[in-house]
Structure 1
Amino acid sequence: MRLNQFISHNAKYSRREADILIEQGRVNIEKTKANTKSVLLEGQRVFIDGKYIKPKQEDNYTVIVYHKPKGELVSKKDDRGRRVIYDAIGSKYAHFAPIGRLDFASEGVLLLSDNKKIVQCLMQSDLEREYIVKINGKITEEMIKAMNEGIHIEDASSGAHQKSRIQAMTFAPFVKYDIGKNDAHFSKLKVTITEGKNRELRRFFAYFNADVMDLRRIRYGWVNLNALPVGKVRFLSKDEYKKLHHFISGTEKTDLNISKKNI
């Protein structure tokens, strides 16, 4: 595991802050001063300013649901002074990591956990993500064809962040979509996808010269936004935790079977 990743998952620091601590010589792996090229091996202990950073127990975890509003970054801090999600959810959740992202102008369901295994498992999964999207202009036949069949775009920079280095992007067929309004001025639809690529929906519609005016994620897997107010946090329900346990157990069994086949 990368050292900055370990620190961000098990301490109050972001990955960027962890890198700074390493560069300042304040991080040790066992008794050896760490550097930015250091690799953390299984079982090795990490110290910051001489204080042992205890790894979180993998079997114990908490997941929270946050209704992220527009105008917040999914980040620990912002060097431009913009509001970040941790300004709203409070310091007691400072060690929680987001499961995926929602861009600055988007809102909706954002899951966070204090367990890196859960974060990685859910981020890398093909769980359904459901959104309500509002675009300017009509939903065209070309859009519908791409939603049904998928599409590869060599230049998918439109709709992306200006600093993004990602150009080409392949969009899988949408799991489903439901067109609520299709009008020359603006259109609304509900879409379900199983990927979480960088600004995926904004890039998709921008390719067809349609700007996303509003984007709200209303479901991540079995976790629904429902009536959770904007800017508020809740814990998973008992039923949601039960489904999560079942999903994690199934994922672990699948990984084990794959490993056995590769031996």
Structure 2
Amino acid sequence: MRLNKYIAHNTKYSRRDADKLIEDGEVTLNKRPIKEFGYEVQPGDRIFVKGRLVKEKGNEVTVIVYNKPKGVLVTKKDDRGRATIYHKLPGKFRHFIPVGRLDYASEGLLLLTDNVEVATALMESKLDRTYNIKIDKPLTQEMVSAMQEGLVLDDARAGAHEKSKIYSMEFAPFISFDIRSEGKSYTKLRVTINEGKNRELRRFFGHFNAKVLDLKRVAFGGIELNNLPTNKTRFFTKKEYDDLHAFLKQRKKAQKKERAKQKETPEA
């Protein structure tokens, strides 16, 4: 593991912090300063940061649930100086990796972990994501049919960020949807999908000239937001960790099976 990643994974420091510490000579290898950013940490190496020994976490995984507020970006740094989740989160979580994103105007459940492989596995998964949303129009039969049957758009820019380079998009059928309340100029829905594409729900309803006024994620893969206050965090429960490990084990098993299948398939 590269030195900066090793520090970020096993301490409170981010990779950016680690790079600065290395540059400033605050990192030592076996008591000698090391300034090689790309150094690969070897078994038995004793890495010190500001005189303190870095203790490896091993294969331990930590996952937190965060209730992201509106008006906060899911990124490390914004070139326009806007607030990010790392301005809001306690310092001990500065090196945690978000599992997917919620856009600036969205809120709700966001998972973060200190393990890159776990973050990737969850982001790439087909686990259910549940949202409470409000659109500025009554629900139409065309919307209902698209939620039930899926939708393929060559131009999915309606509802997208103005700088997005993603134009086309395919929407799988929704897992479920329920009307929570409706009026002449709005509809409140709870929808469940199993994808995490770029501004997917805003693009979906944008195709029908409907604007998503509110969007809040309330569940991800069986993890519920429940009554966690806005801008607060909590650690996974034992059951949630058990479910996560079972998911990761099943994923590895499926990947191994797929690799074996590919080896058996003769090249054309």
Q: If the TM-score is normalised by the length of the shorter chain, which range does it land in?
A: 0.7 to 0.9
- Kindly provide the amino acid, as one letter, of the partner of residue 169 in structure 1: M
C-alpha root-mean-square deviation of aligned residues, in Å? 3.4
Match of 1:217 in 2: 217
In the alignment, structure 1 residue 207 sits paired with structure 2 residue 207 = yes
2:261 — aligned with what? Answer: 261
Alignment of 1:6-85 (within 5 A): 12-13=13-14, 59-85=59-85
Asked if 1 retains the 8 angstrom alpha-carbon contact of 2:130 and 2:217, the reply is yes
Residues 137 and 210 in structure 1, CA contact (< 8 A), matched pair in contact too? yes
Letter in 2 for 1:75: T
In the other structure, the counterpart of 1:163 is: 163
* Residues 81/10 of structure 1: CA separation in 2 closer, same or farther (3 Å cut): farther
SS at match of 2:183: coil
Match of 2:226 in 1: 226
CA shift at 1:55, angstroms? Answer: 11
Aligned match of 1:141:
141
Aligned partners of 2:154 and 2:169 also within 8 Å: yes
The separation in 1 between residues aligned to 2:55 and 2:152, in whole angstroms, is 41
Residue 249 to residue 166, structure 1, CA distance change in 2 (3 Å): same
Once residues 228 and 56 of structure 1 are traced to their aligned partners in structure 2, the CA distance between those partners, rounded to angstroms, is 31
What is the aligned partner in structure 2 of residue 182 from structure 1? 182
Q: How far did 1:172 drift?
A: 0.3
CA distance in 2, matches of 1:91, 1:170: 38
- Whole-angstrom distance in 2 between the partners of 1:163 and 1:121: 27
Q: CA deviation at 1:5?
A: 8.5
Equivalence for 1:50 = none
Q: 1:4 to 1:196 in 2, by over 3 A?
A: farther
- Mark the CA change 1:178 to 1:224 in structure 2 (over 3 Å): closer, same or farther: same
The residue aligned with 2:266 is none
Percent identical pairs in the alignment equals 47
Task: Please state whether the residue corresponding to 2:249 is helix, strand or coil.
Answer: helix
Q: More deviation in 248-257 or 171-180?
A: 248-257
Q: Distance in 1 between matches of 2:183 and 2:8?
A: 46
Aligned to 2:114: 114
2:118 aligned counterpart, secondary structure = helix
Separation in 1, partners of 2:259, 2:65: 32
TM-score normalised by length of structure 1: 0.82
Amino acid at match of 2:161: H
Counterpart of 2:78, as a letter, is D
> Which stretch has the larger CA shift, 187-196 or 84-93?
84-93
Q: Is the 8 A contact 2:10 2:57 kept in 1?
A: no
Q: Residue 182 of structure 1: CA displacement?
A: 2.9
Deviates more, 1:201-210 or 1:2-11: 2-11
Write the letter of the residue equivalent to 1:88: K
Aligned equivalents of 1:182 and 1:62: distance in 2?
40
Shift of 1:87: 1.2
- What are the Cα deviations for residues 121-177 of structure 1, in whole angstroms up to 9, with x where unaligned? 100000000000100011110000000000011111111111110000000000000
Structure 1's unaligned 5+ residue stretches are 48-53
Partners of 1:2 and 1:167 lie apart in 2 by 36
Q: Look up the equivalent residue of 2:193 and give its one-letter code.
A: I
The answer for the alignment partner of 1:193 in structure 2 is 193
Deviations 1:79-134 (A, max 9, x none): 21111111111211111000010000000000000001110110000000000010
State the TM-score, normalizing by the size of structure 2: 0.81
Sort the Cα spacing of 1:3 and 1:134 in 2 relative to 1 into closer, same or farther, 3 A: farther
Provide the residue aligned with 2:125 in structure 1: 125
Q: CA deviation at 1:205?
A: 0.4
Q: What letter matches 1:176 in structure 2? A: S
3-state SS of 2:239 partner = helix
Distance in 2 separating the partners of 1:13 and 1:78: 16
Highest CA radius of gyration, 1 or 2?
Answer: 2
> Alpha-carbon deviation of 1:179?
1.0
Q: 1:196 to 1:13 in 2, by over 3 A?
A: same
Check conservation: 1:58, 1:115, Cα contact below 8 A: no
